[in-house]
Amino acid sequence: MNIFIVCVFPEIIEAFKSHGVISRAIEKSLVTIHSVNIRDYSDKSGHIDDKPYGGGPGMVIRAEPLIKAVRSIKDKYPSSKCIYLSPKGKKLDQKIIKSIPLDTDLILVSGRYEGVDQRFIDLEVDEEWSIGDYVLSGGEVAACVVSDAIIRLIPGCLGDPESNKDESFDNDLLEYPHYTRPETIDGMSVPDVLLSGNHQEIKKWRQKEAVSLTEKKRKDLMKKKL
Ligand SMILES: C[S@@+](CC[C@H](N)C(=O)[O-])C[C@H]1O[C@@H](n2cnc3c(N)ncnc32)[C@H](O)[C@@H]1O
């Protein structure tokens, strides 16, 4: 899988690439993340943004450098999917993340300032994705969030292949609680069943806890099941 992140601050992407699960996935060649600097596609003036037509605050990223950057990727990866990260986009959840084929080459375009010229979206973008109903100052962080959520689903990516089974949102439930050593902290003990070695009972307990936790914290997920 190739992920191209088209953005103003590639340093953010480079930092993201250099830690934990993501850096291991890159080392194992399970994914390649390319940061693409929009400024490399600016005209001689070096400007990538301009004032909005109609007035108003802030600046807008111009269409031409974005179009040039994205077309240079599409020339080499013609079946790639171009996504603009935007608060106006489709709100992502784990189901949508899991529906993305893991052999897709993705172009994730990150805006800044007031956003990007609409004509770039109309000409080049296949879909707009939002990571939630709030406004970030730039799309780089959103592109990292989306990339992380997808990459950890690639087989071979996590140290233990079981780690992404029965996670929160699978079967519309939150995950059961976890405990590790020591057995007691400030008078609070690990539930006996987890020390019993009885795997069937542990499974039952975890399922029950997952249901009651979801009822308590995320009734909306339970409604989906009814
Ligand atoms: C300050 S925001 C622009 C917000 C825009 N003026 C609006 O009100 O919809 C700058 C950039 O951050 C990114 N961004 C902000 N919030 C986001 C979100 N919830 N999901 C994905 N990207 C987001 C987008 O790429 C956007 O172009």
As averages over each run of 10 residues, the pLDDT of the chain (226 residues) reads 98 98 97 98 94 98 98 98 98 96 97 98 98 98 98 93 87 96 98 98 98 96 77
Query: For ligand 1, is residue 25 a contact (CB within 6 Å)?
Result: no
Q: Which domains does the chain have, with CATH numbers?
A: 2-151 (3.40.1280.10), 166-225 (1.10.1270.20)
Residues 6+ apart with CB under 8 A from 152: 21, 25, 158, 164
Give residue for tokens 């080392």.
27
Amino acid 199: pLDDT: 98
**Ligand 1 atom 26 nearest Cα:** 111
Q: Which atom of ligand 1 is nearest to the CA of 135?
A: 16
Q: What is the CA radius of gyration of the chain?
A: 22
Which pLDDT does position 68 carry in this prediction? 98
Cα(202) to ligand 1 centroid in Å equals: 43
Greatest pairwise CA separation for the chain in angstroms: 70
Do 146 and 129 touch, CB atoms closer than 8 A? Answer: yes
CA of 88 to the centre of ligand 1 (A): 8
pLDDT number for residue 226: 63
Beta strands 60-61 and 49-50 are: antiparallel
Cα(137) to centroid(ligand 1), Å: 6
Contact 176, 213 (CB under 8 A): yes
Query: Amino acid letter at 177?
Result: P
Copy the structure tokens of residue 207.
């399922």
Backbone angles phi and psi of 87, in degrees to 5: -65, -15
How far, CA to CA in Å, does 197 sit from each of 125, 128, 200? 52, 48, 9
Whether omega before 10 lies within 30 degrees of 0, making that bond cis, reads no
**Tokens (6 digits) for 34:** 């390319």
Q: How far apart are CA 183 and CA 5, in angstroms?
A: 45
Of the candidates 157, 142, 178, the one whose C-alpha atom is nearest the C-alpha of residue 16 is 142
